[in-house]
Amino acid sequence: MGRLNQFQGEELGIERFDIQLVKLAGLLHDVGHGPFSHVFENEFLPRVLPHDSRWAHESMSQMMVEHIVDEHNIDIDQEHLKKIKDMIVASSHLALPSENHEKRFLYDIVANGRNGIDVDNRFDYIDRDCRACGISNSFYFPRLMENMRVIDNEICYRAKENRNVYDLFQTRANLFRTVYTHAKVKALEYMLVDAFVLANEYLKISDLIFEPQDFWMLDDSILKTIETSDKEELAEARKIVIRMRRRELYQYCNEYAVPKEKLEHFKTVRPEDIACAQVKSGVHLSPDDIIVSNVKIDLTRGKEDPVQRVHFFKDYESDEKFIIPKDRISHLLPDCFEDRIVRIYSKRPELVDAVSEAFENFQLRTYGIKTQVHGTPNGKKRRSQQKVSAEAQYARSL
């Protein structure tokens, strides 16, 4: 925003209150998140709300902004308040048609529905999380911000930054693959959701999500409430939280990447699908014993190349914006922009082998081959134990 104001502020009619509104939208855009953020919205709520209920944190953020203004008697122009709320939902299904906005480019800064390059979904966490997790980051956001300008009411980027833009999306995808959807991270998330579901009837968690005066009381402390309660109604939820504290996690069994040629017709895999693939007798698998994680990793637009929605310009003497075809950038760029990973967990450690075998059978039935490349955790453990036993036996024979 500072870069645009410095070099094009007068030309674009950027005023002081425009900068203030963008800053407020950036500050407040996520106040509608529930406890533990996206896990609450994407994993917990679908299990406890009617299937036709559509709850979105962006909508709650709008309601929370109104609540804060009313509760604290904040003197703010209603038109300015409306712009802040519109900026918050600019990339969601709640967004107004773009032609309804004056200075349309302002609505692409916090949450960009055009191409996904914004401070919310990209700049805010990529640099921070890469540094914190020791992950290589080839994307350099200051350079991108130094090489942008508004053309035809849209933020565009200098053509020489095309690889930097690809690096932005690739780095984001790498973070999702190695950090946000890490096998142990997801195991903890599924345990958290199970605990919340078990506690919901007593704590009425899902009853608090509709009105901002109730919603603001929901925060991460709910986990401690479950853990420290002596109520019988929370006993089962408490057992799961204690398991989480002790790192007695749901056991990761295995995973496979959906073959590229099968992506188009991929159907979500369910626990029932795995349980029904069991052929080994002596162990009964119930869908309740199994968790299936259907992980989708893309560059923000599913199977589409997101850079084909980004407009570039040649230099600062030019007022023409254009899209750069992928083959004009590099022949080393991907042809596919989406991965689907199916990952399986067992809630009970003693069932890992049975779940793993059923998972292999499911792959053979579905694809005719086993697409996984990892050994099962228990299989690795057994091989390690066998190796140690063999070495010990050899040592005794000397």
Question: What are the chain's domains?
Answer: 1-114 (no CATH), 250-299+337-398 (3.30.70.2760)
Gap between the Cα atoms of 148 and 93, Å rounded: 27
Per-residue pLDDT 10s for the chain (398 aa) are 777 888 888 899 999 999 999 999 999 999 999 999 999 999 999 999 987 678 999 999 999 999 999 999 999 999 999 999 999 999 888 887 766 678 999 999 999 989 999 987 667 789 889 999 999 888 888 899 899 999 999 999 999 999 999 999 999 999 999 999 999 999 999 999 999 999 999 999 999 999 999 999 999 999 999 999 999 999 999 999 999 999 999 999 999 999 999 999 999 999 999 999 998 768 889 999 999 999 999 998 889 999 999 999 999 999 999 999 999 999 999 899 999 999 999 999 999 999 999 999 999 999 888 888 777 666 555 554 554 455 556 556 65
Task: Please indicate whether residue 93 is annotated as part of the active site.
Answer: no
Task: Kindly state the tokens that stand for 218.
Answer: 């929901």
Compute CA distances 20 → 5, 81, 222, whole Å. Answer: 12, 11, 34
Q: Are 122 and 113 contacting, i.e. CB atoms less than 8 angstroms apart?
A: no
Q: Return the bridge partners of 257, or none.
A: 341
Which of 131, 149, 86 is closest to 319 using CA atoms?
149
Give the C-alpha separation, 311 to 115, whole Å. Answer: 9
DSSP state of 341: E
Q: How many other C-beta atoms lie within 10 A of the C-beta of residue 392?
A: 10
- 313: phi then psi, degrees, rounded to nearest 5: -135, 155
| Among 29, 33, 38, 57, the one annotated catalytic | 57
